Structure 1
């Protein structure tokens, strides 16, 4: 089974600056990590490879330093990986991002299964996976927590959707978005790191895509534009109350009433 896993490098901290002009995150110099939900997708891919054979490759989109995410996946057990990196892809919204990833996945064909994490911790839209499937005209399932079976031409998954437990059988090739806590991801292997080094990562640019029209990528290919974005205000003000239970309850009631919360 040929499995491709979409992964992403996300900020490892909530203290991230925002570009006031473009409205996108400033990632340069910010500590990064592999998106937690993608770890579950990777582990599921490794388990499927162990059971059914085949190969696990990863793909990510981002600046050149996103190579670190692919290397981490390689040290965990992936067989190969690619980074989609080009300044012409910068500033992409979810639609342009999913289109770029779909184009990159086409260049890595053939494949039987695409796995994505449920969502990323920086965007939290949970839209990129399903949109990739739409761009590639593939059947897809979201919220998958378990793979029940995988045959020559289909795969059966089970997961929660809108409060219901849903079982779906999809024809291969297809795309599956993996929910959190579906497994326990393995750690990167120091031995694999020493064996592989950093020479197993392939870089893809616009010139490697089937569609090379710049208008379909980055800010130009993004139908949604950020009007204003800002970090939430932090307040360190506090007030300490003392008194009996009824007295404190009355003070709390008066506070809520004064702020018209009641």
Structure 2
């Protein structure tokens, strides 16, 4: 699927102080303490994003899909808990997909699992249009798209324990070491995902970049709310299709790694 929502954990800017600016050591009877950072003041809420905007032109066919299917299948972002039954027109287990690219795998999986709802986050407009086009062509009823940052969706629309699963397929690997901090799969974000999972719900990540696969396995293994479903990397679940991008990489000798963890 390629890099879906590009990922960014941007570091906060720090202005160095001169020695004259340094605070004096407080008296021993009045120990210094840093102010507690909570809620919207916490750096996590200021810096964590699930994407970086990409360019790209929306085709005429994608624009027609926006016009024809957008009113039914696009969910507006609202900073309030989502009414799943109203959004999907039924009550069913819901899987969150973060960054679906052009929607090839998303449509395949949704068709394979009509008994589940799929809430899909993507900010790349051509990708959203492409998935809407697939929805129309395949007459899919169980997909809803929120064209908004998945971090905001998690924070404000998805209460704890509401998801049956989460898919994060081929997020941007940010290959250069100095850019690794921008990767999506990091401990604060994984904690958010784990918190939204129902007991027994699963988190499935996939990547074709081995160093990122190693980071995924390490980060997910360190999350106490999750347990691995395999001794290490998981066999590719049957529901995840091989995309054209992935097939091309395999022919070139590239590996693909899946990690599947469950909510304990």
Q: Is the helix fraction higher in 1 or 2? A: 2
Q: Is the strand fraction higher in 1 or 2? A: 1
What is the TM-score normalised by the length of structure 2?
Answer: 0.31
What is the TM-score normalised by the length of structure 1?
Answer: 0.31
Bigger-Rg structure (1/2): 1
